[in-house]
Structures are given as structure tokens and as C-alpha cells.
Amino acid sequence: METSPVSLNQLATTSKQFVGRLATIGENRLELVAVGIQEERERILHAFLLALGVAAFGLLAGVTLTAGIVVCLWPWSPVAVLFSLTALYAAAGIYLHHRLTGLLRDWQKLSVSLDQLRKDRDCLEKILA
């Protein structure tokens, strides 16, 4: 049996269009991922700079407050003042550690890009089925 040249030409044209559309979708998704990576990088840098500022000024405030408390309560009991401040700072450190680990555990990386890629895969499976 011979196949007609028209159907082979149509098949070739359709295949080229399909591959072209698939390449366009892939290019768009790569651009989406690149934009997502850039946004994440900027958010991390911004968060780092804010955290650095908070840490610096928090340290200055803590040192000043500690010096004031120690000066005021030194005549009463030097050891009790130092142990109380140590316990207070340890509790604050433990609390902040728990907050940081919770934040890192719940952090979602490029969730929008991954959702879009899943939708594309589902759509492609529906088309090919």
C-alpha cells in the first residue's frame, strides 16, 4: 500500500507546529523559572540585610540595657543580676531558634513555577491522550 503524499506533508507540518509550540512553552517556562530565581535571590538578600540591621541594633540595645540593669541592681546582689540576665538571654535565644527553624521548614522555593510546570504537564497529557 502506498501512502498519499498529502497525508505525509500534513503529518510533517503538524509535527513541526507541535515541536515549535513545545519549544515555545519550554522557553516560557525557563524564563519563568529564571524570574523566580531572581526574585528569590533579591528576597534573600533583603531579608539578610534586614536581619543584619536588627542584629546590630538589637545588640547595641541589649548591651545598653544590660549595663543599666547591672549598674542599678549591683548593690543588691551581683551574682543574682548576672544569672537572671543570663537566663533571660538564653530564653530569648531558644525562642528565636525555634522561630528560625519553623521559618526554614515552611519556606517554599519557586512554588509558582513548579505549579505552572505541573499544570503544563497535565495539559499535555490530556492533549496526547
| Res. 109 pLDDT band, cuts 50 70 90 | low
Predicted local confidence at residue 2, as pLDDT: 56
Query: What number is the average pLDDT over the span 31-41?
Result: 87
Phi/psi zone of residue 3: left (φ > 0), alpha (ψ -120 to 50 degrees), beta? beta
Query: What number is the average pLDDT over the span 13-17?
Result: 83
Q: pLDDT > 90: what percent of the chain?
A: 9
Predicted local confidence at residue 95, as pLDDT: 92
DSSP states along 8-64? HHHHHHHHHHHHHHHHHHHHHHHHHHHHHHHHHHHHHHHHHHHHHHHHHHHHHHHHH
- What is the spatial distance between Cα 54 and Cα 80, in angstroms, rounded to a whole number? 29
